[in-house]
Structures are given as C-alpha cells and as structure tokens.
Structure 1
Amino acid sequence: MKEILDASKEKMSKSVAVYQNEMTSLRAGRANPRLLDRIMVDYYGTPTPLPQIGNINVPEARMIVIKPWEKKMISAIEKAIQKSDLGLNPTNDGEVVRLVFPDLNEERRKELTKMARKSAEGAKVAVRSIRRDAVEQIKKLKKDSLITEDEQRKAEDDAQKITDKAIKDIDGICAAKEKEIMEV
C-alpha cells in the first residue's frame, strides 16, 4: 500500500515539474533564455536545439543575445526564430543575433494568463487521474482482502492529501506566473 502512495506521489511531483517547466517557457515580457530551448535550427541538415548551436546571454531585461559557435549559422538561427511561435523579430550584426522583447499589451497579457490557467487545469486533471488510479489499486487490495476497511480509508485519505498538496503547488505556480505576466 505504501508503494502505491509513494508511486502516486512521485508521478504527481513529475506532473507538477512538467507544469513548472511549461510555465518557464511561457513568455511574460521578460527575456528568458529557456524560451529558446524548443527552437530547432537546421544545422547542416540536422534539426538541432538552438542552445546547442551558440552561446545565449541576457544583457538586458528585455533582450537576448545569441552568439553562434559558427558565424555562418546566423541566418539559420534567424529563420528558426521567425518560424517559431514566439512572435519575435531577430536582428543580426554579422556576429550575434539579438532578440528584443516588446512590452506586452493588455490583451496579450490576458491571453497569456488564460493560457497559464488552461495549462494549470490540464496539470490538475493529470494529478487527479493519478489519484484515481491509486484509489482503484487500494480498492482492489481491499476487494482481495489484503487490507482492512480502516487501512483502505486511511490510504485513500493519504492519497487525497498528496493530491491536495500537488494541486496547491500547481495553483501557486499559476498565481506566480499570472502575477509576473500582469506586472507592467
């Protein structure tokens, strides 16, 4: 029974971590190099993650500078960024690629907040699904007479407590991201 709860706790922690990672890649007006992690650049015919092609720095709050290891990759990096869903317009000076993050307007801020909430709801659904699976396993143990009714009730309560904590963590991450997005 402890194994069931431990496995559920671990799965829920992973769901929270995935959501947290998702929120770091949600653009909030500030330059965050993690936004570039998903961008794939055509590196001699092979799609390669942008961070593996050059050095990425954040010299100012709203600017990212990418210095490729090879200067001839500048145009490929620009194309990959333009094709991405970031909505940024890269500029280059022959040495580096610069990404300037414009201020977010009110409409875009609300849209990003909505995306954060929708993603939070998806993470909560995943956590509840994990709890449901754990409770089903616990009920099966009771049905097979491997545990008593009191043990079943306690295990189900423990599963609920683990779930409540994971959902509270998700809500906290979402609230922090919303605050960051709405900051002018």
Structure 2
Amino acid sequence: MLTLHVAEQSPETAVLVDGASVAAVGRYEELADADPRARVRRWPGILTPGLLNPYGPELLEATYHPDPREAGTLGTEPIGGERAGAIFRADPARLGASARRGVQRMLAHGTVAVAGELRSRVVVDAVRRAGLAVGQRPDRLPGPAALSPTPLILLPRVVPGGPARFAVFDVADRAELVRRGAGTCVATVIGGRLVYRGR
C-alpha cells in the first residue's frame, strides 16, 4: 500500500512510501496528484531523515529502563550507573526487557539508527527486531549519553529507492529542532512502518 507522509512545515519534502522503500520525495501536491490512491498521513512540524543515537551500548546495555509496573519502586526514568548494574546482576533476564523498552524510548525520540558496539545478544536482537539501522559511531561523542543527545545527529537525506526510514518533529524548522531536541518527535517510520506515533 502506498502512503504519502507530509508535514505542515516542510510540504516540499513529502515522502511517498511503497512497502519498506521510498517511492518518491517531492512537493506534496505533485506526489498527491501523481498517485491519488496513496493513503495520506499528515503531521505537524517537519519531516527529517531521522536521528542516529551514538549511545547504543550506554543506553541499552548499561541503563535500566523500568517497566511501568515498577514505577512505585524504581520510578519511570532510565536508571544508569551502579544501580543499573546491580539490577542486571540480580536478574540478568531483565536486560532484554529493559533493552526493548529502551528501544521504544529511542523510537519516541526519532531515532532510526544506533551506533556503538553492542555486546549482548538480547540487546542486538531488540535493535534488529525494531528495524533500527546500525551506524558508524562518531570519533567524538556529542556529550553525555541521552535519548536526545546534543548536538543531534541527522542521517543523510531520504531518497527515492532508499529505505523508508525517517522521523517527524513538531517544530517549525531544523533550528528549532536543534534548540528543543528530539523530545519533539511525533512520528518515527522504519521499513515503511509507523513504529512510533506521539499523537
């Protein structure tokens, strides 16, 4: 099924998706006229290629993402450092479930690729199942490990024939995205599938 994604602030970069691939990129009006059968998904903000989070190991292997049922005892925010290590040592099976929740948090921040050497099989499986690409880790990391690292690392352009992998952020332009961060994500698409929808 063809799906046409368009964001209010960037109608010149609408994306027509056919399965897992990008069929066309261009002005919304032109793409809609060329294939009126396409289902249209309208988003606020801007459509971008999506983000590379360079902190795969730090966020998925060295951070515990609590289950919502643990909110009363562990809270809802990611837990790092020795406290996360103690949780994983006490119950190694928690690593896989934590990694899956961590991947979901990354998707909610427009992440479509991770970098860093993942050593745990259950973490690699969580990344692979979500469809996240594995990218090159930059020589210089942008700062402390975060779901919205500063500066944000945008992947190369979305191109026809390439993978349907992009994100939409509820901002007016890229400058506002840089200023406000990846928490403004409203949609993430990987392999042509809507893997995160904020509203």
> Which structure carries more strand by proportion?
2
Is the shorter-chain TM-score for this pair beyond 0.5, marking a shared fold? no
> Which structure carries more helix by proportion?
1
Larger radius of gyration: 1
Question: What TM-score results when the alignment is normalised by the length of structure 1?
Answer: 0.23
Question: What TM-score results when the alignment is normalised by the length of structure 2?
Answer: 0.21
